[in-house]
Amino acid sequence: MRVPLDWLKQYTEISCTAEELAERLTMGGLEVEGIELERTEERPLTPVLDVYITPNRGDCLSMAGVAREAAALMQTALHLPSAPVSEAGGEIEAAASVQVDVPHLCPRYAARVLRGIRLGPSPPWMQQRLLSAGQRPINNVVDVTNYVMLELGQPLHAFDMKGIAQSRIVVRTARIGERITTLDGAERTLTPEILVIADAEKPIAVAGLMGGADSEVADDTTDILLESAHFNPQTVRRACKLLNLRTEASYRFERTVDEAGVLAALERACELLQEMGQPAPVAGHIDVRAVPDPPIRRITLRPSRVAALLGIPLEKDTVAECLQRVGVKLEAETGNVFTALLPTWRTDLQYEEDLVEEVGRIYGYENIPEVLPAGSQTGGDSDWGRFLAKVRQPLAAAGMQEVVTHSLTGPTPWDDPADAEVVVPVRNSLSGEVSRLRRSLLPGLLQIASYSGTFSRDARWMFEIGQVWQMLQGEPAEFTAAAGLIAGSIAPPDWRREQPSADFAQMRGVIERLLDSLGIEDVEFARPSAPGALFHPGRAACVFLKGELAGVAGELHPQHAQKLPWRERVLLFELSMQVLHRHLPTGEKRFVPLPRFPAVVRDLAPRISAQMPWEAVETALKSVHEEILEEWKLTDLYKGAPLPEDVCSPTISFTFRSKHHTLTDAEVNATLEQLQNQLRQQCGARFAGEEG
């Protein structure tokens, strides 16, 4: 809304600059988006504030509303115009009549009649103010209605009495098939959802939007009926949408106009016309109201609640003063509770919290000291958030780039047809690209790889942690997953050595590193019965934690790999964060002192079937429970002559250490023999010198 500063000064004292006023209004919640300097006849340059009005503050769509805010924030006097109010009834009853058929859509309708009007230009001062506020001057009658709307926020409309059949106003809904030509020259078809102002025969205006051409004030107009009414905001909004029409009047009615100001605005318009030399209106006014005296709205307010929400203890007198400055009156306190009487123009005040906000902005948010929030649940992340942070750290440390994809998706080339029954659709989606909630994070990673893989190395090593959804028993269920994509070597190119491309073993190492960092043990990689359409049928595995399925890992199916812009193997994995969280160790972490005694390292090179899964070897080694066995790891894998084709020889390095003394060869050999025996019994292993 455009607010000329010279006009605003007519209603409240403003001694500061336009910039200082803009700052104060903005800090008080009435945002000033800019200041424009405009040339006028009275002054070379006059500031005009461009004020953004939020939808709940329809009372500020007027000079009076902005003046109230300025006076409250700057503690200055307020001088709003008030015209004498005429008596109801009288001579006007013979000049016109008003009938409201739908009082729930038009709670109040007031009218006055003026005879002997002489149309002409409005005074220069009024034209200048209208221009500064963004309105085009037309003639003295129309300019007065626009001026009062800008001044008080109440839209008015003037009808030429010649265009009102039988001088009768009927407020009703439109009938099927009725049409009206509005002031913009467009012929519009009306529907029963639209509220109209009609005469005894036909509609002569669309209520709250625009008048009709048949009753337009024209050069030959002598007698007018001035309308000032209160219309239901939802009804006006619906009519705007149906007719694809919006006006300055509808903009205000949609945001609720003060019903108590209907008659005051009407009398103000008559006063201005008389000041311009126009004849006095016909004695009396018409005021049709659904409720004679609407009840005064009240809200209870606890000073303790003010202190709790603002975070600062305020004296009761300070609270009362802040509220009185915005027109809220406080009745006597009863048991540390105030009863607040709300002004009619503040329809946005509904709850106790609304009053607390008024206290805060009038007191000045800048005057409230900054303090850290108190409480046991503040100042840190949630347990779940800390857990996900622990998942991110080892994945990032492995050289993977974290990405974020959209949770809404559509059909992609990477979809698994088997997921069709569990996909969660989106109702009323804007397009097919956002028609469902993602079932998996893997299609999003592959989509990134297909878009940017030729340009970015990061697209070849990436992971994402996010929400996924699926239908369970007819209801959508939400889960958190972590997924990764690996292709090519993690190390940058180096002329001194060749960097091997990633394979399943390298991806498995990333997963094991993640689980190890979380302290999760008893991990098993097992061949799946059906790996899914995304994965290579022979190069995929299910990840189990103590027998519970936690995810899947494997190589991308060759048919899908052909769609990517490179030819390296593409490895994928996806893990359930809920399952990982359930298997976190529950005991407290205790400090383990650095070892005092040296370690002994021995290697074993068993000969086992090449088809033997590594999990079987690990299971055999884990069955040896000796305190001195500190760790083991696979350091080499040999295949070829002189071994048979179906036999391989992994080299396993064992580390032995005692917490109490230096180990002897006999102690190490005894444990090493147990390890050999378990490998023989569980894996059919043979060692050098043994026949097999």
Q: How far apart are CA 498 and CA 500, in angstroms?
A: 6
Residue ranges with strand state E in 488-594: 523-526, 535-545, 548-556, 570-576
Q: Nearest-CA neighbor of 151 among 167, 135, 168, 171?
A: 135
Q: Nearest-CA neighbor of 211 among 175, 248, 177?
A: 248
Q: Nearest-CA neighbor of 49 among 25, 65, 73, 68?
A: 25
- Any idea what DSSP says for residue 568? S
Q: Nearest-CA neighbor of 3 among 64, 50, 39?
A: 50
CATH 3.30.70.380 in the chain is located at 600-683
Task: Report how far apart, in Å, the C-alpha atoms of 685 and of each of 356, 623, 674, 682, 691 are.
Answer: 78, 15, 13, 8, 11
Q: How far apart are CA 398 and CA 489, in angstroms?
A: 12
The answer to whether 233 and 348 are in contact (CB under 8 A) is: no
pLDDT score at 53: 93
Task: Report how far apart, in Å, the C-alpha atoms of 159 and of each of 167, 168, 364, 482 are.
Answer: 10, 12, 46, 68
Q: How far apart are CA 405 and CA 443, in angstroms?
A: 10
Task: Report how far apart, in Å, the C-alpha atoms of 233 and of each of 65, 198, 237 are.
Answer: 19, 19, 6
> Omega into 203 within 30° of 0, i.e. cis?
no
CATH 3.30.56.10 in the chain is located at 2-74, 298-367
The answer to whether 152 and 265 are in contact (CB under 8 A) is: yes
Residue 593, burial from CB neighbour count under 10 angstroms (0-12, 13-18, 19+): exposed
Query: What kind and span of H or E run contains 402?
Result: strand 401-402
Tokens of 465: 């942690």
Q: How far apart are CA 46 and CA 37, in angstroms?
A: 5
Question: How far from the centroid of its chain's Cα atoms is residue 685's Cα?
Answer: 62
Measured between its terminal Cα atoms, the distance across the chain in Å is 94
Q: How far apart are CA 192 and CA 521, in angstroms?
A: 70
Rg of the chain on CA atoms, in Å: 40
Q: How far apart are CA 611 and CA 646, in angstroms?
A: 7
pLDDT score at 373: 66
Q: Nearest-CA neighbor of 682 among 613, 628, 625?
A: 613
In CATH, what is the architecture of 383-492+499-582? 2-Layer Sandwich (3.30)
Task: Report how far apart, in Å, the C-alpha atoms of 287 and of each of 208, 291, 347, 474, 586 are.
Answer: 17, 11, 22, 58, 75
pLDDT score at 40: 66
Q: How far apart are CA 529 and CA 542, in angstroms?
A: 9
pLDDT score at 527: 82
Please tell me whether residue 606 adopts helix, strand or coil conformation: coil
Residue whose entry in the numeric block shows the structure tokens 């906000």: 357
Q: In terms of CATH, what superfamily is 600-683?
A: Ferrodoxin-fold anticodon-binding domain (3.30.70.380)
Q: How far apart are CA 343 and CA 234, in angstroms?
A: 22
CATH topology of domain 92-289: Phenylalanyl-tRNA Synthetase; Chain B, domain 3 (3.50.40)
pLDDT score at 376: 62
Tokens of 629: 């066995």
Domain range 298-367, its CATH number among 3.40.50.300, 1.20.1050.10, 2.40.30.260, 3.30.56.10: 3.30.56.10
The answer to whether 568 and 460 are in contact (CB under 8 A) is: yes
pLDDT score at 587: 74
Looking from the CA of 281 toward its CB, the CA atoms found within 13 Å total 32
Q: Nearest-CA neighbor of 395 among 577, 634, 618?
A: 577
Burial 540-567 (b: 16+ CB within 10 A, else e): bbbbbbeeeebbbbbbbbeebbeebeee
Q: How far apart are CA 469 and CA 414, in angstroms?
A: 17
Phi/psi at 199 (nearest 5 deg)?
Answer: -105, -155
Q: How far apart are CA 630 and CA 627, in angstroms?
A: 7
A 10 A CB-CB count for 494 gives 9
Residues of the chain with confidence (pLDDT) below 50 = none
Task: Report how far apart, in Å, the C-alpha atoms of 81 and of each of 12, 139, 471, 637 are.
Answer: 11, 22, 63, 95
- Which residues make beta-bridge pairs with 159? 225
CATH topology of domain 2-74: Phenylalanyl-tRNA Synthetase; Chain B, domain 1 (3.30.56)
Question: Going by C-beta distance under 8 Å and a sequence separation of 6 or more, which residues neighbour residue 115?
Answer: 95, 222, 223, 279, 282
Sheet of 156-160: strand order equals: 156-160, 224-230, 108-114, 286-289
